[in-house]
Structure 1
Amino acid sequence: MDMFLPDSLTLVALLGCFAVALVAGVVKGMVGFAMPMIMVSGLGSIVGPEWALAGLILPTLCTNGWQAMRAGPRGVWQAVVRFRVFLAVAFVMLILSAQLVSVLPARAMQVMIGLPIVAFALSQLLAYPLKLGSPPPRRVEVGVAMLAGGIGGFSGVWGPPTVAYLTALETPKRDQLQLQGVIYGLGAVALLGAHIGSGVLSTTTAPFSAALVPVALVGMWIGFRVHDRIDQVMFRRATLVVLLIAGGNLLRQGLGL
Protein backbone atom coordinates (compact mmCIF):
# COMPACT_ATOMS: atom_id res chain seq x y z
CA MET A 1 0.00 0.00 0.00
CA ASP A 2 1.24 3.52 -0.73
CA MET A 3 3.30 5.28 1.95
CA PHE A 4 0.60 7.82 2.76
CA LEU A 5 -1.91 5.21 3.86
CA PRO A 6 -2.00 3.12 7.03
CA ASP A 7 0.04 -0.06 6.58
CA SER A 8 -2.96 -2.28 7.27
CA LEU A 9 -5.25 -0.57 4.72
CA THR A 10 -6.20 -2.88 1.86
CA LEU A 11 -7.76 -1.79 -1.43
CA VAL A 12 -11.18 -2.87 -0.19
CA ALA A 13 -10.71 -0.87 3.00
CA LEU A 14 -9.63 2.17 0.96
CA LEU A 15 -12.79 1.90 -1.12
CA GLY A 16 -14.69 1.72 2.17
CA CYS A 17 -13.05 5.01 3.22
CA PHE A 18 -14.15 6.58 -0.07
CA ALA A 19 -17.70 5.33 0.51
CA VAL A 20 -17.72 6.88 3.98
CA ALA A 21 -16.54 10.22 2.53
CA LEU A 22 -19.23 10.08 -0.18
CA VAL A 23 -22.04 9.40 2.29
CA ALA A 24 -20.72 12.10 4.63
CA GLY A 25 -20.74 14.58 1.75
CA VAL A 26 -24.30 13.72 0.75
CA VAL A 27 -25.59 14.13 4.30
CA LYS A 28 -23.68 17.38 4.82
CA GLY A 29 -25.02 18.85 1.60
CA MET A 30 -28.55 17.91 2.62
CA VAL A 31 -28.62 19.05 6.27
CA GLY A 32 -25.47 21.19 6.56
CA PHE A 33 -23.51 19.13 9.10
CA ALA A 34 -22.59 15.60 10.27
CA MET A 35 -19.56 15.10 8.03
CA PRO A 36 -17.12 14.88 10.98
CA MET A 37 -19.46 12.58 12.93
CA ILE A 38 -19.93 10.21 9.99
CA MET A 39 -16.24 10.22 9.12
CA VAL A 40 -15.07 9.75 12.71
CA SER A 41 -17.39 6.79 13.22
CA GLY A 42 -17.04 5.34 9.71
CA LEU A 43 -13.33 5.82 9.14
CA GLY A 44 -12.62 5.01 12.78
CA SER A 45 -13.90 1.48 12.27
CA ILE A 46 -11.54 1.06 9.27
CA VAL A 47 -8.33 2.93 10.10
CA GLY A 48 -8.63 3.80 13.80
CA PRO A 49 -9.50 7.06 15.58
CA GLU A 50 -6.33 9.10 14.95
CA TRP A 51 -6.22 8.34 11.22
CA ALA A 52 -9.96 9.03 11.08
CA LEU A 53 -9.45 12.42 12.71
CA ALA A 54 -6.64 13.24 10.29
CA GLY A 55 -8.70 12.02 7.34
CA LEU A 56 -11.66 14.29 8.00
CA ILE A 57 -9.68 17.55 8.36
CA LEU A 58 -9.18 18.52 4.69
CA PRO A 59 -12.59 17.29 3.40
CA THR A 60 -14.25 19.22 6.23
CA LEU A 61 -12.29 22.37 5.38
CA CYS A 62 -13.14 22.22 1.66
CA THR A 63 -16.82 21.32 1.99
CA ASN A 64 -17.44 23.99 4.61
CA GLY A 65 -15.85 26.59 2.37
CA TRP A 66 -18.21 25.64 -0.44
CA GLN A 67 -21.20 25.56 1.90
CA ALA A 68 -20.39 28.96 3.41
CA MET A 69 -19.93 30.66 0.03
CA ARG A 70 -22.98 29.13 -1.61
CA ALA A 71 -25.11 32.23 -0.91
CA GLY A 72 -22.30 34.72 -1.53
CA PRO A 73 -19.75 36.68 0.52
CA ARG A 74 -22.31 39.12 1.97
CA GLY A 75 -24.03 36.29 3.81
CA VAL A 76 -20.69 35.08 5.14
CA TRP A 77 -19.89 38.49 6.64
CA GLN A 78 -23.35 38.82 8.18
CA ALA A 79 -22.98 35.39 9.79
CA VAL A 80 -19.55 36.27 11.20
CA VAL A 81 -20.86 39.51 12.71
CA ARG A 82 -23.96 37.86 14.16
CA PHE A 83 -22.07 34.96 15.74
CA ARG A 84 -18.79 36.73 16.56
CA VAL A 85 -18.92 35.83 20.28
CA PHE A 86 -19.78 32.21 19.54
CA LEU A 87 -16.97 31.94 16.99
CA ALA A 88 -14.34 33.58 19.20
CA VAL A 89 -15.10 31.40 22.24
CA ALA A 90 -15.32 28.19 20.19
CA PHE A 91 -12.02 29.00 18.46
CA VAL A 92 -10.14 29.38 21.73
CA MET A 93 -11.65 26.21 23.22
CA LEU A 94 -10.90 24.23 20.06
CA ILE A 95 -7.21 25.17 20.12
CA LEU A 96 -6.90 24.33 23.82
CA SER A 97 -8.73 21.00 23.67
CA ALA A 98 -6.88 19.78 20.57
CA GLN A 99 -4.01 18.81 22.85
CA LEU A 100 -6.22 16.16 24.52
CA VAL A 101 -6.17 13.86 21.47
CA SER A 102 -3.11 11.96 22.67
CA VAL A 103 -4.26 11.57 26.28
CA LEU A 104 -8.03 10.97 26.15
CA PRO A 105 -9.09 7.33 25.52
CA ALA A 106 -10.86 6.90 22.19
CA ARG A 107 -13.87 5.14 23.72
CA ALA A 108 -14.34 7.82 26.35
CA MET A 109 -14.27 10.42 23.57
CA GLN A 110 -16.95 8.56 21.61
CA VAL A 111 -19.27 8.27 24.62
CA MET A 112 -18.77 11.93 25.56
CA ILE A 113 -19.84 12.97 22.07
CA GLY A 114 -22.56 10.39 21.43
CA LEU A 115 -24.57 10.67 24.65
CA PRO A 116 -25.58 14.35 24.38
CA ILE A 117 -26.28 13.94 20.66
CA VAL A 118 -28.73 11.12 21.26
CA ALA A 119 -30.39 12.92 24.18
CA PHE A 120 -30.95 16.10 22.18
CA ALA A 121 -32.20 14.36 19.02
CA LEU A 122 -34.65 12.16 20.95
CA SER A 123 -36.04 15.10 22.90
CA GLN A 124 -36.67 17.00 19.68
CA LEU A 125 -38.19 14.07 17.80
CA LEU A 126 -40.47 13.30 20.76
CA ALA A 127 -41.88 16.85 20.59
CA TYR A 128 -40.01 18.40 23.50
CA PRO A 129 -38.42 21.26 21.55
CA LEU A 130 -35.78 23.49 23.05
CA LYS A 131 -36.43 27.14 22.13
CA LEU A 132 -34.27 30.15 22.86
CA GLY A 133 -34.98 33.84 22.60
CA SER A 134 -33.64 35.91 19.73
CA PRO A 135 -31.03 37.02 20.51
CA PRO A 136 -30.36 34.27 23.08
CA PRO A 137 -28.89 35.02 26.53
CA ARG A 138 -25.16 35.68 26.26
CA ARG A 139 -24.36 33.01 28.88
CA VAL A 140 -26.14 30.42 26.72
CA GLU A 141 -24.21 31.47 23.63
CA VAL A 142 -20.88 31.31 25.48
CA GLY A 143 -21.73 27.97 27.10
CA VAL A 144 -22.69 26.32 23.81
CA ALA A 145 -19.57 27.76 22.12
CA MET A 146 -17.33 26.37 24.87
CA LEU A 147 -18.94 22.96 24.52
CA ALA A 148 -18.76 22.95 20.71
CA GLY A 149 -15.14 24.12 20.61
CA GLY A 150 -14.05 21.82 23.42
CA ILE A 151 -15.52 18.74 21.77
CA GLY A 152 -14.31 19.82 18.34
CA GLY A 153 -10.69 20.15 19.35
CA PHE A 154 -10.17 16.63 20.63
CA SER A 155 -12.54 14.82 18.30
CA GLY A 156 -13.01 16.89 15.14
CA VAL A 157 -16.77 16.82 15.85
CA TRP A 158 -18.22 20.19 16.83
CA GLY A 159 -21.52 20.03 14.99
CA PRO A 160 -24.09 18.71 17.51
CA PRO A 161 -24.00 21.59 20.03
CA THR A 162 -24.04 24.10 17.18
CA VAL A 163 -26.92 22.37 15.40
CA ALA A 164 -28.86 22.20 18.66
CA TYR A 165 -28.23 25.91 19.17
CA LEU A 166 -29.34 26.93 15.67
CA THR A 167 -32.35 24.60 15.82
CA ALA A 168 -33.41 26.13 19.15
CA LEU A 169 -33.22 29.56 17.48
CA GLU A 170 -35.64 28.23 14.81
CA THR A 171 -33.28 29.28 12.02
CA PRO A 172 -34.72 28.92 8.45
CA LYS A 173 -33.14 26.04 6.54
CA ARG A 174 -31.32 28.10 3.90
CA ASP A 175 -29.89 30.45 6.54
CA GLN A 176 -28.98 27.54 8.78
CA LEU A 177 -27.10 25.82 5.97
CA GLN A 178 -24.96 28.90 5.35
CA LEU A 179 -24.50 29.70 9.03
CA GLN A 180 -23.28 26.18 9.65
CA GLY A 181 -20.88 26.48 6.73
CA VAL A 182 -19.41 29.71 8.12
CA ILE A 183 -19.19 28.48 11.72
CA TYR A 184 -17.81 25.07 10.81
CA GLY A 185 -15.54 26.54 8.13
CA LEU A 186 -13.81 28.84 10.61
CA GLY A 187 -13.68 25.93 13.04
CA ALA A 188 -12.14 23.76 10.33
CA VAL A 189 -9.39 26.32 9.78
CA ALA A 190 -8.71 26.33 13.51
CA LEU A 191 -8.79 22.52 13.56
CA LEU A 192 -6.28 22.40 10.72
CA GLY A 193 -3.85 24.64 12.58
CA ALA A 194 -4.41 22.89 15.88
CA HIS A 195 -3.69 19.43 14.49
CA ILE A 196 -0.70 20.49 12.47
CA GLY A 197 0.58 21.56 15.87
CA SER A 198 -0.57 18.38 17.63
CA GLY A 199 0.96 16.16 14.94
CA VAL A 200 -2.32 14.44 13.96
CA LEU A 201 -2.12 16.03 10.49
CA SER A 202 1.39 15.40 9.21
CA THR A 203 3.25 14.57 6.03
CA THR A 204 2.22 10.96 6.68
CA THR A 205 -1.52 11.50 7.16
CA ALA A 206 -2.23 14.62 5.04
CA PRO A 207 -2.20 12.79 1.65
CA PHE A 208 -4.79 10.35 2.99
CA SER A 209 -6.99 13.28 4.00
CA ALA A 210 -6.46 14.98 0.62
CA ALA A 211 -7.46 11.80 -1.23
CA LEU A 212 -10.89 11.92 0.42
CA VAL A 213 -11.62 15.53 -0.67
CA PRO A 214 -12.88 14.92 -4.26
CA VAL A 215 -15.22 12.14 -3.15
CA ALA A 216 -16.63 14.29 -0.34
CA LEU A 217 -17.25 17.18 -2.76
CA VAL A 218 -19.15 14.92 -5.17
CA GLY A 219 -21.29 13.72 -2.29
CA MET A 220 -21.95 17.26 -1.17
CA TRP A 221 -23.11 18.29 -4.66
CA ILE A 222 -25.67 15.47 -4.52
CA GLY A 223 -26.75 16.55 -1.04
CA PHE A 224 -27.25 20.17 -2.11
CA ARG A 225 -29.67 19.05 -4.79
CA VAL A 226 -31.71 17.15 -2.19
CA HIS A 227 -31.63 20.11 0.22
CA ASP A 228 -33.09 22.44 -2.39
CA ARG A 229 -36.08 20.15 -2.86
CA ILE A 230 -37.20 19.59 0.74
CA ASP A 231 -39.26 21.95 2.93
CA GLN A 232 -38.44 23.32 6.40
CA VAL A 233 -40.29 20.58 8.31
CA MET A 234 -38.58 17.80 6.37
CA PHE A 235 -35.22 19.55 6.75
CA ARG A 236 -35.60 19.73 10.53
CA ARG A 237 -36.68 16.11 10.83
CA ALA A 238 -33.85 14.94 8.59
CA THR A 239 -31.40 16.93 10.72
CA LEU A 240 -32.60 15.25 13.91
CA VAL A 241 -32.61 11.76 12.40
CA VAL A 242 -29.01 12.22 11.22
CA LEU A 243 -28.04 13.39 14.70
CA LEU A 244 -29.71 10.38 16.30
CA ILE A 245 -28.06 7.84 13.97
CA ALA A 246 -24.60 9.38 14.25
CA GLY A 247 -24.84 9.73 18.02
CA GLY A 248 -26.09 6.19 18.43
CA ASN A 249 -23.23 4.81 16.38
CA LEU A 250 -20.67 6.72 18.43
CA LEU A 251 -22.24 5.40 21.63
CA ARG A 252 -22.16 1.86 20.26
CA GLN A 253 -18.46 2.13 19.49
CA GLY A 254 -17.63 3.82 22.77
CA LEU A 255 -19.43 1.15 24.80
CA GLY A 256 -17.89 -1.66 22.76
CA LEU A 257 -21.24 -3.05 21.61
Structure 2
Amino acid sequence: MHDSIVFALLLTGTFLAAGLVKGVTGMGLPTVAMGLLGVVMSPAAAAALLIIPSFVTNIWQLFSGPSLARLLRRFWPMMLCISVGTIAGAALLVAVDPLWSGFALGLALLVYAGYALVAPKLAVPIIAERWLSPLIGALTGIVTGATGVFVMPAVPYLGSLHMSREKLVQALGLSFTVSTLALAVGLFFNGAFQVSQAGVSTLAVVPALLGMWLGQRIRVRISAARFRQCFLVFLIVLGLELVCRPFI
Protein backbone atom coordinates (compact mmCIF):
# COMPACT_ATOMS: atom_id res chain seq x y z
CA MET A 1 0.00 0.00 0.00
CA HIS A 2 2.80 2.37 0.98
CA ASP A 3 4.70 1.54 -2.21
CA SER A 4 1.59 2.19 -4.31
CA ILE A 5 1.12 5.63 -2.76
CA VAL A 6 4.78 6.51 -3.29
CA PHE A 7 4.58 5.37 -6.93
CA ALA A 8 1.39 7.38 -7.52
CA LEU A 9 2.99 10.50 -6.05
CA LEU A 10 6.13 9.95 -8.13
CA LEU A 11 4.09 9.50 -11.31
CA THR A 12 1.94 12.56 -10.60
CA GLY A 13 4.88 14.78 -9.73
CA THR A 14 6.91 13.63 -12.73
CA PHE A 15 4.23 14.29 -15.33
CA LEU A 16 3.10 17.51 -13.65
CA ALA A 17 6.69 18.78 -13.93
CA ALA A 18 7.07 17.45 -17.47
CA GLY A 19 3.78 19.04 -18.57
CA LEU A 20 4.80 22.31 -16.92
CA VAL A 21 8.01 22.41 -18.94
CA LYS A 22 6.13 21.62 -22.16
CA GLY A 23 3.59 24.34 -21.40
CA VAL A 24 6.31 26.95 -20.98
CA THR A 25 8.77 25.86 -23.68
CA GLY A 26 6.58 23.93 -26.17
CA MET A 27 8.60 20.73 -25.71
CA GLY A 28 10.40 18.61 -23.15
CA LEU A 29 7.70 16.30 -21.75
CA PRO A 30 9.37 13.00 -22.75
CA THR A 31 12.81 14.37 -21.88
CA VAL A 32 11.85 15.40 -18.35
CA ALA A 33 9.74 12.29 -17.77
CA MET A 34 12.47 9.92 -18.96
CA GLY A 35 15.08 11.79 -16.94
CA LEU A 36 13.09 11.67 -13.68
CA LEU A 37 11.61 8.18 -14.05
CA GLY A 38 14.95 6.82 -15.28
CA VAL A 39 16.38 7.50 -11.82
CA VAL A 40 14.02 4.98 -10.18
CA MET A 41 13.22 2.46 -12.94
CA SER A 42 14.67 1.05 -16.15
CA PRO A 43 14.46 3.33 -19.21
CA ALA A 44 12.27 0.72 -20.97
CA ALA A 45 9.70 0.84 -18.14
CA ALA A 46 9.86 4.64 -18.05
CA ALA A 47 9.35 4.84 -21.83
CA ALA A 48 6.26 2.62 -21.60
CA LEU A 49 4.72 4.94 -18.99
CA LEU A 50 5.17 8.08 -21.08
CA ILE A 51 3.53 6.71 -24.26
CA ILE A 52 -0.07 7.86 -23.64
CA PRO A 53 0.58 11.31 -22.06
CA SER A 54 3.21 12.03 -24.70
CA PHE A 55 0.82 11.06 -27.49
CA VAL A 56 -2.08 13.13 -26.11
CA THR A 57 -0.02 16.29 -25.59
CA ASN A 58 1.77 15.95 -28.93
CA ILE A 59 -1.36 15.28 -30.97
CA TRP A 60 -2.82 18.51 -29.55
CA GLN A 61 0.34 20.34 -30.61
CA LEU A 62 0.22 18.69 -34.05
CA PHE A 63 -3.32 19.86 -34.85
CA SER A 64 -2.93 23.33 -33.35
CA GLY A 65 -1.23 24.77 -36.46
CA PRO A 66 -2.44 25.60 -39.97
CA SER A 67 -0.03 23.63 -42.17
CA LEU A 68 -0.40 19.91 -41.40
CA ALA A 69 -0.99 18.78 -45.01
CA ARG A 70 2.01 20.75 -46.29
CA LEU A 71 4.23 19.47 -43.49
CA LEU A 72 3.21 15.88 -44.24
CA ARG A 73 4.09 16.30 -47.91
CA ARG A 74 7.40 17.93 -47.02
CA PHE A 75 8.55 15.64 -44.22
CA TRP A 76 7.03 12.22 -44.94
CA PRO A 77 10.45 10.68 -45.80
CA MET A 78 11.83 11.93 -42.48
CA MET A 79 8.81 10.60 -40.57
CA LEU A 80 9.10 7.22 -42.31
CA CYS A 81 12.76 6.94 -41.32
CA ILE A 82 11.95 8.01 -37.75
CA SER A 83 9.41 5.20 -37.57
CA VAL A 84 11.75 2.53 -38.93
CA GLY A 85 14.69 3.67 -36.80
CA THR A 86 12.63 3.88 -33.61
CA ILE A 87 11.06 0.44 -34.00
CA ALA A 88 14.48 -1.08 -34.71
CA GLY A 89 16.18 0.85 -31.90
CA ALA A 90 13.57 -0.13 -29.30
CA ALA A 91 15.18 -3.58 -29.12
CA LEU A 92 18.24 -1.91 -27.60
CA LEU A 93 16.16 -0.14 -24.95
CA VAL A 94 14.69 -3.49 -23.87
CA ALA A 95 17.70 -5.79 -24.28
CA VAL A 96 20.53 -3.70 -22.86
CA ASP A 97 21.26 -3.74 -19.12
CA PRO A 98 19.19 -0.93 -17.48
CA LEU A 99 22.34 0.70 -16.10
CA TRP A 100 23.79 1.04 -19.59
CA SER A 101 20.55 2.06 -21.28
CA GLY A 102 20.31 4.65 -18.49
CA PHE A 103 23.87 5.66 -19.40
CA ALA A 104 22.75 6.15 -23.03
CA LEU A 105 19.76 8.18 -21.84
CA GLY A 106 22.06 10.34 -19.73
CA LEU A 107 24.31 10.96 -22.74
CA ALA A 108 21.29 11.94 -24.83
CA LEU A 109 20.18 14.40 -22.14
CA LEU A 110 23.68 15.90 -21.90
CA VAL A 111 24.02 16.26 -25.68
CA TYR A 112 20.60 17.88 -26.01
CA ALA A 113 21.05 20.23 -23.04
CA GLY A 114 24.57 21.15 -24.09
CA TYR A 115 23.43 21.91 -27.62
CA ALA A 116 20.46 23.95 -26.45
CA LEU A 117 22.57 26.02 -24.01
CA VAL A 118 25.12 26.87 -26.69
CA ALA A 119 22.38 27.16 -29.35
CA PRO A 120 24.55 27.59 -32.43
CA LYS A 121 22.63 29.09 -35.32
CA LEU A 122 22.24 26.46 -38.03
CA ALA A 123 20.95 26.99 -41.53
CA VAL A 124 20.26 24.04 -43.84
CA PRO A 125 19.98 24.90 -47.56
CA ILE A 126 16.81 23.71 -49.25
CA ILE A 127 18.79 21.68 -51.78
CA ALA A 128 20.20 19.50 -48.96
CA GLU A 129 16.81 18.81 -47.39
CA ARG A 130 15.91 15.98 -49.79
CA TRP A 131 18.75 13.71 -48.61
CA LEU A 132 19.32 15.17 -45.14
CA SER A 133 15.75 14.79 -43.84
CA PRO A 134 15.71 10.96 -44.18
CA LEU A 135 19.17 10.74 -42.59
CA ILE A 136 18.15 12.94 -39.65
CA GLY A 137 14.96 10.89 -39.35
CA ALA A 138 16.86 7.61 -39.16
CA LEU A 139 19.30 8.96 -36.57
CA THR A 140 16.46 10.42 -34.51
CA GLY A 141 14.64 7.10 -34.68
CA ILE A 142 17.63 5.12 -33.44
CA VAL A 143 18.20 7.57 -30.56
CA THR A 144 14.49 7.51 -29.71
CA GLY A 145 14.32 3.73 -29.74
CA ALA A 146 17.49 3.31 -27.70
CA THR A 147 16.82 6.01 -25.09
CA GLY A 148 13.12 7.03 -25.19
CA VAL A 149 14.13 10.66 -25.87
CA PHE A 150 12.73 12.20 -29.08
CA VAL A 151 14.71 15.41 -29.42
CA MET A 152 18.08 14.65 -31.03
CA PRO A 153 18.90 15.45 -33.75
CA ALA A 154 15.38 16.26 -35.04
CA VAL A 155 14.83 19.39 -32.94
CA PRO A 156 17.94 21.33 -34.00
CA TYR A 157 17.48 20.15 -37.60
CA LEU A 158 13.87 21.33 -37.85
CA GLY A 159 14.89 24.59 -36.20
CA SER A 160 17.43 25.18 -38.99
CA LEU A 161 14.89 25.09 -41.84
CA HIS A 162 13.73 28.74 -41.67
CA MET A 163 10.12 27.89 -40.82
CA SER A 164 7.80 30.34 -39.08
CA ARG A 165 7.30 29.81 -35.37
CA GLU A 166 3.84 28.31 -35.94
CA LYS A 167 5.08 25.88 -38.58
CA LEU A 168 8.07 24.90 -36.45
CA VAL A 169 5.90 24.12 -33.42
CA GLN A 170 3.59 22.05 -35.62
CA ALA A 171 6.52 20.28 -37.29
CA LEU A 172 7.89 19.39 -33.85
CA GLY A 173 4.45 18.09 -32.91
CA LEU A 174 4.48 15.91 -36.03
CA SER A 175 7.94 14.53 -35.26
CA PHE A 176 7.09 13.86 -31.61
CA THR A 177 3.76 12.21 -32.46
CA VAL A 178 5.36 9.86 -35.00
CA SER A 179 8.18 9.09 -32.55
CA THR A 180 5.68 8.29 -29.78
CA LEU A 181 3.63 5.93 -31.95
CA ALA A 182 6.74 4.20 -33.31
CA LEU A 183 8.17 3.82 -29.80
CA ALA A 184 4.91 2.24 -28.63
CA VAL A 185 5.07 -0.25 -31.53
CA GLY A 186 8.73 -1.02 -30.86
CA LEU A 187 8.19 -1.55 -27.14
CA PHE A 188 5.11 -3.71 -27.80
CA PHE A 189 6.93 -6.02 -30.20
CA ASN A 190 9.75 -6.37 -27.69
CA GLY A 191 7.38 -7.21 -24.83
CA ALA A 192 7.97 -3.96 -22.93
CA PHE A 193 4.55 -2.32 -23.37
CA GLN A 194 1.62 -4.20 -21.84
CA VAL A 195 -2.07 -3.45 -21.34
CA SER A 196 -1.53 -2.83 -17.62
CA GLN A 197 1.12 -0.22 -18.42
CA ALA A 198 -1.25 1.45 -20.86
CA GLY A 199 -3.73 1.91 -18.01
CA VAL A 200 -1.15 3.54 -15.75
CA SER A 201 0.17 5.60 -18.66
CA THR A 202 -3.36 6.86 -19.33
CA LEU A 203 -3.68 8.03 -15.72
CA ALA A 204 -0.55 10.15 -16.24
CA VAL A 205 -2.41 12.21 -18.86
CA VAL A 206 -4.23 14.21 -16.16
CA PRO A 207 -1.14 15.64 -14.39
CA ALA A 208 0.55 16.13 -17.78
CA LEU A 209 -2.33 18.25 -19.09
CA LEU A 210 -2.59 20.12 -15.78
CA GLY A 211 1.12 20.85 -15.96
CA MET A 212 0.76 22.12 -19.54
CA TRP A 213 -2.06 24.43 -18.48
CA LEU A 214 0.01 25.80 -15.59
CA GLY A 215 3.03 26.17 -17.85
CA GLN A 216 1.07 28.18 -20.38
CA ARG A 217 -0.11 30.52 -17.63
CA ILE A 218 3.41 30.87 -16.24
CA ARG A 219 4.81 31.53 -19.73
CA VAL A 220 3.09 34.92 -19.91
CA ARG A 221 4.40 35.96 -16.48
CA ILE A 222 8.10 35.04 -16.49
CA SER A 223 11.00 35.07 -18.89
CA ALA A 224 10.78 31.92 -20.98
CA ALA A 225 14.50 32.24 -21.71
CA ARG A 226 15.40 32.14 -18.01
CA PHE A 227 13.07 29.22 -17.36
CA ARG A 228 14.62 27.41 -20.34
CA GLN A 229 18.12 27.94 -18.93
CA CYS A 230 17.09 26.48 -15.55
CA PHE A 231 15.42 23.56 -17.30
CA LEU A 232 18.56 22.78 -19.32
CA VAL A 233 20.81 22.95 -16.25
CA PHE A 234 18.39 20.56 -14.53
CA LEU A 235 18.68 18.15 -17.48
CA ILE A 236 22.47 18.31 -17.28
CA VAL A 237 22.35 17.35 -13.59
CA LEU A 238 20.02 14.44 -14.39
CA GLY A 239 22.17 13.37 -17.32
CA LEU A 240 25.33 13.39 -15.21
CA GLU A 241 23.63 11.27 -12.55
CA LEU A 242 22.55 8.68 -15.11
CA VAL A 243 25.94 8.64 -16.86
CA CYS A 244 27.81 8.16 -13.57
CA ARG A 245 25.50 5.46 -12.19
CA PRO A 246 27.20 2.42 -13.85
CA PHE A 247 30.52 3.45 -12.31
CA ILE A 248 29.31 3.99 -8.73
CA contact (8 A) 1:22 1:219 kept: yes
- Specify whether residues 122 and 43 from structure 1 end up closer, same or farther in structure 2 by C-alpha distance, changes over 3 A only: closer
State the partner residue of 2:193.
201
- Specify whether residues 249 and 54 from structure 1 end up closer, same or farther in structure 2 by C-alpha distance, changes over 3 A only: same
CA contact (8 A) 1:117 1:244 kept: no
State the partner residue of 2:44.
50
SS in 2 for 1:159: coil
Equivalent residues in 2 for 1:121-136, closer than 5 Å: 121-123=113-115, 125-126=117-118, 128-134=120-126, 136=128
TM-score (norm 1): 0.82
State the partner residue of 2:101.
109
CA contact (8 A) 1:34 1:242 kept: no
Deviates more, 1:207-216 or 1:163-172: 163-172
State the partner residue of 1:191.
183
The answer for unaligned runs of 5 or more in structure 2 is none
Kindly state the Cα deviation for residue 183 of structure 1 after the two structures are TM-superposed. 1.4
State the partner residue of 2:213.
221
Deviations 1:77-103 (CA, angstroms, capped at 9, x unpaired): 222122112111111111111122222
Q: Residue 194 of structure 1 aligns to which amino acid in structure 2?
A: G
CA contact (8 A) 1:91 1:190 kept: yes
Q: State, as a whole percentage, how many aligned pairs show the same letter.
A: 26
SS in 1 for 2:95: coil
**Among 24, 27, 33, the residue aligned to 1:33:** 27
Kindly state the Cα deviation for residue 140 of structure 1 after the two structures are TM-superposed. 2.9
Kindly state the Cα deviation for residue 179 of structure 1 after the two structures are TM-superposed. 1.4
Kindly state the Cα deviation for residue 119 of structure 1 after the two structures are TM-superposed. 4.1
Aligned residues: 246
- Specify whether residues 106 and 139 from structure 1 end up closer, same or farther in structure 2 by C-alpha distance, changes over 3 A only: farther
RMSD: 2.8
The answer for unaligned runs of 5 or more in structure 1 is 2-7
TM-score (norm 2): 0.84
- Specify whether residues 243 and 76 from structure 1 end up closer, same or farther in structure 2 by C-alpha distance, changes over 3 A only: farther
- Specify whether residues 177 and 235 from structure 1 end up closer, same or farther in structure 2 by C-alpha distance, changes over 3 A only: farther
